[in-house]
Amino acid sequence: MAEKIKSAVMAEARKISVALVTWGFGVAAMVAYCVLVFWLKQSFGIYVSMAGAMVFLAFAFFFIDLWWRLSHKKYE
């Protein structure tokens, strides 16, 4: 009985830690996005800022999609 409880607690702790790390990466990515857009606007103007924002988002969504597909892939 104690072994089942221990394994259940460890499984939940693993899920929570993965959620917190994923949330932390998301917050860091949003801060990086804001800093990049602000820096590009201050240094190069609005059009370069818009282009840089689109490139950043394209790469971010590529890696989000890659992570999502790999984490939900069925291994046989």
Q: What pLDDT is recorded for position 75?
A: 58
More confident residue, 67 or 50: 50
Find the helix packing angle between 46-71 and 2-44, rounded to 10°: 160
Return phi, psi of residue 45, to 5°: 110, 180
User: What element of type H or E holds 24?
Assistant: helix 2-44
Strands (E), the chain: none
Residue 6: the pLDDT is 87
pTM score of the predicted model: 0.72
Q: Which helix (H) or strand (E) holds 38?
A: helix 2-44
Does residue 67 carry a pLDDT above 90?
no
pLDDT tens digits, 3-58: 888 888 999 999 999 889 989 998 999 999 999 999 999 999 999 999 999 999 99
Domain ranges of the chain: 2-71
